[in-house]
Homo-oligomer: A and B are copies of this chain.
């Protein structure tokens, strides 16, 4: 028999979020109108604000098309420093900021920089699909803390503390603890008090804390967001963020890492991440200037992001209301990001699992969602709530109809 040429670790590389994309395209070629509620892409429904596109065009016409500084053009780095100063009251230097091609690239670099085969990372489920992939790409393993569905998807702090406590020493030590706030796919906005407990836990056990805060400006229903950088002082931590969500600029692929502390771990990690950046030369150059300009235009930004978040809050409310009429699913109301993550009552439906459910829903009702097992939560599915209210109502209505048709 011919052996596969692929590496052992490559088997973990798979995107649940995009796994139905090719099938959806096939349906479209058959003339069918598929509604995509699987991609966390605000720009699909809310065009990237004109002032940002204008800045991008200006960068191009000014000739910003060559390779640029690997860790990010100084204009963007300075804009990020200023964003964290004005928004979170945290001061940092240019060396504390690393610009990447999306948070995706930051995750690859970070895991390569930190993970030796066999190392363990602590993440919380349900998790963003790329986390375990990026860990396992480098031979790492992960332990699972949890967002507790029965408690409104809040972080199970006691469980987290127990996991950390069991892995205090030696080779079993946890390499880093990753949280996502607001969380994808649960929409959890971690309350300040809970976040403080997480920060203290990491600090007490001297575990590097990583916080993916890409949705930090997408918070609603009166919830209040706290960044890890407001609480973590004198301990190594990194915040991941980018332009995709807050600046509605997904296709630009501009992410960044900020690590304002100057302890030994933070310093060696930043220096190494800069090495990773140099090896790949740079992120897209004109897009960096566009985002730098966008961050500097705070009036326009506030106006446009507020309008987008209001529309998202309305889309979520509409989807939740329609979903509440469905006896076969139950969903916690999210306070941030733009996802709803309902539990499917599989015992009452004629589906083996969430994968079957999502695939049939796409095939029969032309609504593309994502299976919960891709986020570590089998028996759930993720609905992206970015479309206009009437589209959300129609699509969730189709989900309801679909469940009724497949009831046991």
A residues with a Cβ closer than 8 A to B are 2, 4-10, 13-15, 17-19, 21, 39, 41, 43-44, 47-48, 53, 56-57, 60-61, 63-70, 101-102, 104-105, 108, 112-117, 119, 129-130, 133-134, 137-139, 175, 208, 236, 249-253, 264-265, 268-269, 272, 275-276, 278-287
Most buried by B among A60, A65, A133, A138: A65
Question: Would B286 and A251 count as touching, CB distance under 8 A?
Answer: yes
12 sample A-B contacts, Cβ–Cβ < 8 Å, listed by A number: A7-B116, A9-B138, A10-B112, A10-B114, A13-B112, A18-B70, A48-B63, A117-B117, A134-B279, A250-B285, A253-B281, A253-B284
Q: Cα distance A65–B290 when bound, in Å?
A: 12
Q: Cα distance A67–B279 when bound, in Å?
A: 25
Q: Cα distance A97–B109 when bound, in Å?
A: 25
Question: Would B47 and A67 count as touching, CB distance under 8 A?
Answer: no
Take A13-B113, A108-B108 as given contacts and tell me if A264 and B47 are in contact as well, using a CB distance cutoff of 8 Å: no
Question: Would A269 and B53 count as touching, CB distance under 8 A?
Answer: no
Take A5-B269, A70-B18 as given contacts and tell me if A252 and B13 are in contact as well, using a CB distance cutoff of 8 Å: no
Min C-beta distance of A133 to chain B, whole Å: 5
Of all A-B residue pairs in the complex, the 4 with the closest CB atoms, nearest first, are A251-B285, A15-B278, A43-B66, A104-B280
Question: Would A61 and B65 count as touching, CB distance under 8 A?
Answer: no
Take A6-B269, A113-B7 as given contacts and tell me if A105 and B251 are in contact as well, using a CB distance cutoff of 8 Å: no
A251 / chain B contacts, CB cutoff of 8 Å: 64-68, 282, 284-286
Min C-beta distance of A146 to chain B, whole Å: 23
A18 / chain B contacts, CB cutoff of 8 Å: 70, 278, 281
Question: Would A284 and B6 count as touching, CB distance under 8 A?
Answer: no
Question: Would A130 and B65 count as touching, CB distance under 8 A?
Answer: no
A275 / chain B contacts, CB cutoff of 8 Å: 10, 13-15
A66 / chain B contacts, CB cutoff of 8 Å: 41, 43-44, 48, 250-251
| Least CB separation from A208: chain B residue | B5
Min C-beta distance of A203 to chain B, whole Å: 15
A285 / chain B contacts, CB cutoff of 8 Å: 250-253
Min C-beta distance of A8 to chain B, whole Å: 5
A19 / chain B contacts, CB cutoff of 8 Å: 278
Question: Would B13 and A279 count as touching, CB distance under 8 A?
Answer: yes
Question: Would A102 and B281 count as touching, CB distance under 8 A?
Answer: yes
| Least CB separation from A17: chain B residue | B278
| Least CB separation from A111: chain B residue | B7
Question: Would B67 and A41 count as touching, CB distance under 8 A?
Answer: yes
Q: Cα distance A317–B22 when bound, in Å?
A: 50
Question: Would B61 and A57 count as touching, CB distance under 8 A?
Answer: yes
A283 / chain B contacts, CB cutoff of 8 Å: 253
Q: Cα distance A268–B9 when bound, in Å?
A: 14
Question: Would B101 and A279 count as touching, CB distance under 8 A?
Answer: no
Q: Cα distance A279–B21 when bound, in Å?
A: 13
Take A114-B6, A275-B13 as given contacts and tell me if A284 and B287 are in contact as well, using a CB distance cutoff of 8 Å: yes
Q: Cα distance A285–B65 when bound, in Å?
A: 15
A108 / chain B contacts, CB cutoff of 8 Å: 108, 280
| Least CB separation from A11: chain B residue | B272
Min C-beta distance of A375 to chain B, whole Å: 14
Take A13-B279, A101-B253, A284-B284 as given contacts and tell me if A48 and B70 are in contact as well, using a CB distance cutoff of 8 Å: no
Take A60-B56, A249-B65 as given contacts and tell me if A70 and B115 are in contact as well, using a CB distance cutoff of 8 Å: no
Q: Cα distance A113–B4 when bound, in Å?
A: 11
Take A265-B5, A269-B5 as given contacts and tell me if A13 and B276 are in contact as well, using a CB distance cutoff of 8 Å: yes
